[in-house]
């Protein structure tokens, strides 16, 4: 098992020195070094912000779609991601994360905000997503049976607007798991509920369609 000797690293984009876990990494091999871990020069936060900005640029829309379709054509890649998630779950990663950050979870529950949207806007929003969770696709009736609650008004950007431009329907499970994470950091191929088509529909709603619903 490879272990990096680095504990911190300076991000070449924002200039901040951060913990090494704040950088994406890849296993590599060279004749001189042998097998080692390569860390990206930019931190995860900078990479996510840059990727989000690029994706939201209308001129990059087609390229984004094609890249996602191409990735979905490789089942081995998806299986590997799904197995990685299952291993983390079995190893107790998510439970440990909660136990180590109880104060943060408590703070979030106290600062949770409600959307300021009309009943008609909420109905249009749910209708757009076929009265289902925008993340996992569970129907509202099934969500009530499974979780005892209807679909929630989910803030996609936790610190964003309280109106319909930042609102999608989410079941109790997805709403809790998404928490304050950025959508591109949480809803991706590492997540076992991920669907490219649902992801694209969320983006389309937030970028354009909420205006014409």
133 within some domain:
yes
Range of the domain at 21: 8-47
Burial class (CB in 10 A: 0-12, 13-18, 19+), 154: buried
73 within some domain:
no
Reading the chain (213 residues) residue by residue, the pLDDT tens digits are: 444 557 889 999 999 999 888 888 888 888 887 888 888 999 988 988 888 788 777 787 677 666 665 655 555 555 666 677 678 778 887 778 778 877 766 655 544 567 788 999 999 999 999 999 999 999 999 999 999 999 999 999 887 888 999 999 999 999 988 888 888 888 887 788 988 889 999 999 998 889 876
Q: Are residues 141 and 39 in the same domain?
A: no
Q: Are residues 28 and 111 in the same domain?
A: no
Residues 6+ apart with CB under 8 A from 44: 22, 23, 24, 185
Q: Are residues 35 and 140 in the same domain?
A: no
Angstrom distance (rounded) from CA 208 to CA 213: 9
CA atoms within 13 A on the CB side of 168: 29
Phi, psi of 8 (to 5 degrees): -145, 165
DSSP character for 57? Answer: S
Asked whether 27 and 35 are in contact (CB, 8 A), the reply is yes
**Confidence (pLDDT) at 5:** 58
């Amino acid at each position: 098992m490879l272990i990096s000797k680095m504990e911190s690293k300076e991000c070449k984009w924002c200039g901040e020195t951060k913990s090494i876990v704040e950088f994406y990494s890849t296993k590599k091999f060279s004749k001189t070094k042998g097998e080692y871990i390569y860390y990206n020069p930019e931190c995860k936060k900078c990479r996510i912000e840059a990727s989000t900005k690029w994706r939201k640029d209308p001129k990059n829309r087609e390229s984004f779609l094609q890249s996602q379709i191409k990735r979905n054509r490789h089942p081995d890649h998806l299986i590997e991601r799904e197995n990685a998630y299952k291993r983390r779950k079995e190893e107790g990663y998510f439970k440990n994360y909660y136990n180590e950050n109880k104060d943060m979870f408590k703070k979030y529950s106290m600062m949770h905000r409600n959307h300021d949207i009309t009943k008609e806007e909420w109905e249009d929003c749910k209708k757009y997503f076929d009265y289902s969770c925008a993340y996992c696709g569970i129907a509202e009736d099934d969500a009530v049976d499974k979780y005892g609650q209807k679909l929630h008004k989910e803030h996609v950007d936790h610190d964003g607007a309280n109106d319909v431009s930042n609102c999608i329907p989410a079941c109790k499970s997805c709403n809790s798991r998404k928490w304050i994470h950025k959508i591109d950091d949480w809803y991706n191929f590492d997540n076992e509920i991920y669907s490219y088509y649902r992801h694209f529909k969320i983006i389309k709603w937030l970028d354009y369609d909420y205006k014409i619903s």
